[in-house]
Each structure stands twice: as C-alpha cells, then as structure tokens.
Amino acid sequence: MELQQLRYVIAVAEESSFTRAAAQCFVVQSALSHQVKALERELGVTLFARTSRRVELTAAGTAFLPSAREALVAAERAGVDAAAAEGQVRGRLTIGVIPTVTALDVPAALGEFHRRHPSVRIGLRVAGSDELETAVAAGEVDVALLGLPRGREPRGVAWRHLADDRAVLAVARDHPLVGRRRVRLANLVDETFVDFPAGSPGRLQSDVAFAAAGLHRDVAFEVMLAGPMVDLVRHGLAVALLPSRFLDDAADDVVTIPVADGPTRSEHLAWSDFNPSPAAQAFLASLA
C-alpha cells in the first residue's frame, strides 16, 4: 500500500468523482483510477461503487477511510519530524486571525517566519474568536490570535496575553457627534449600529457594556468582517464600536471618538500544547 494510493482514495471520497479527484491531485484520471483499482485488488475489497455518473463509498470504503486518513497524516508528520531532527522545518502552518487583530502585525510576522523557514506552507484562516478557539483545541488551526471581552480567558488551549484595547466610536465625517472630545454609551442609544453577529465574542464585549449600563441599542447591520463595517460607517448608514488601534489608519471620511465607558477587549495568542508540529513550535518561538 502506497501513500499516493491513500491520497487518491481520500480525494475520490471527498470529491465523489474520479475526475475532480484527479484535478485535485494534479494527475491524469486514468493514472488515479489505475492506482485506486490496484489498491482494491491488494485489499481484496471494493472501496467505491461506480457508474458513469456516480461514485460512492461502499461499506468497505467507509470503514477504510478513517484509518486511511490517520495513516496519511501520521506518514506526513513522520517526514516532518525527521526533517526537524536534522534542523529543517517543513510541513504546514495554519494561522487563525480575528478580523480586527491589532496586537500583532500578522503580515510582518509571517514574512519573517517564511524567510527563515521557506519550506513551510502557510495557511491563513479568518474567523471569529469562538470558532478559532475551538479549531485550535481540535487541532485544525495551529496558532490563533483571539480578541475576547476583558476578563474572559481562552479555554481549552494554551495562551499568552498580548494587549488590551478600549473600543472607540467610529462615525461618518458629517455625523452630529463629530467634534465631541468624548462620549458615553448613554449618548449612543438612539444611534443605528453595525456590529459582529449576535453571540460572537466580538459582539459580546459591546453587548455586555450596554447591558451593564442598563441601556439598549439598535444593531441593524450584522457583518463578520470589519472592512464592510467601516464602509457602512463611511456611508453614514451606521456607527460602530471598534478597537482603537484597528482604526488608526481609517480614511479621512471616518472619524473616531473615545467612549468613556466603552468596552475593553483583550487580545491573546492561542495554541494547542498537545503535540504541536515543528512548524507551530518554530512560529511561536519567532514571536517570543
């Protein structure tokens, strides 16, 4: 049984198509089909039920697939570990970042890491802190940058505190509040807000601050990325509470105003300390 055969079987299972699997593996379909059939002969079972229009795993294929995935991951990790023993860092590094990360210059950090370890393939995943926290704990993401309400520590992962930042109010240049040196949450109850989706850590810090003040606000727009938030603010459709450092380079048509009793968030570097890959260890070391 060859590793390439395992890759082909996994690709066919994921794509439910020999044609798409061949494209994913950058090989001609006839070669992929030949290798899958050779593996079936070696095993003495049929892994896929095939017609001219349809490909599905058989019961034997369904039973075979989990172990095939584990074997492939183990073999790839073995190669990475062997290279690490010789002082080489290889493999893949997946970095998770929140949309409003400010405590670390991520492009600069990745650039420096890539110059030191050019054989490492780097993947970047942008998501909310709760999703990234879960992904790190599950081993799907190697290292993540999280933004959590102040006082809420990361759970189920190893972590290091990076920085705290108090949110500021972002408004359009012609907004009536422009010119105020400072505002309070009570001054904002009649405003229309754009914010992250309800229940997300990015949204929670603002919701908690308003609730603690006994105030209600209208969040008419919910988006996952900060860029569209700023665009909505720029066009006068809403105001937003965002980390102050994120808006340091805001365009001239977006004005920021300090909020005396506004929410504060903490940024954390998070990783799994359960068998981290050499690439993850090297990246963490580069940030020490």
Query: pLDDT digits over 77-133, tens only?
Result: 776 666 555 566 778 899 999 988 889 999 999 999 999 888 888 999 998 899 999
Alpha-carbon distance of 250 to 72, in angstroms, equals: 46
Q: In the chain, which segments carry CATH 3.40.190.10?
A: 92-160+267-287
Residue reference for tokens 């365009």: 251
pLDDT more than 70, % of the chain: 94
115: which residues sit within 8 A by CB, 6+ positions away? none
Provide the pLDDT for residue 1.
Answer: 67
Alpha-carbon distance of 170 to 194, in angstroms, equals: 10
Phi-psi region of 78 (alpha: psi -120 to 50; beta: other; left: phi over 0): alpha
Alpha-carbon distance of 52 to 54, in angstroms, equals: 6
Q: In the chain, which segments carry CATH 3.40.190.290?
A: 163-266
CB of 271 within 8 A of CB of 194? no
Nearest Cα to Cα of residue 156 among 17, 288, 272, 238: 272
Fold (topology level) of 92-160+267-287: D-Maltodextrin-Binding Protein; domain 2 (3.40.190)
* Average pLDDT, rounded, for the chain: 89
Give 76's pLDDT tier (boundaries 50, 70, 90): low
Mean pLDDT score, 242-255: 76
Task: Name the least confident of 73-77, 115-119, 226-230.
Answer: 73-77
Provide the pLDDT for residue 90.
Answer: 73
**Among the four given CATH numbers 3.40.190.290, 3.40.1620.10, 3.40.50.300, 2.40.170.20, the one describing domain 163-266:** 3.40.190.290
The string of DSSP letters for 215-276 reads ---EEEEE-S-HHHHHHHHHTTS-BEEEETGGGTT--TTEEEEEBTT--EEEEEEEE--SS-
Please give the structure tokens belonging to residue 196.
């992250």
Cα angle: 120, vertex 125, 130; to 5 degrees: 130
**Among the four given CATH numbers 3.40.50.720, 3.90.1170.50, 1.10.10.10, 3.40.50.300, the one describing domain 3-85:** 1.10.10.10
Give 194's pLDDT tier (boundaries 50, 70, 90): very high
Q: Residue 95: helix, strand or coil by DSSP? A: strand
Q: In the chain, which segments carry CATH 1.10.10.10?
A: 3-85
Beta strand segments in the chain, E: 48-50, 55-57, 92-97, 121-126, 143-149, 158-172, 192-195, 218-222, 240-243, 254-258, 264-271
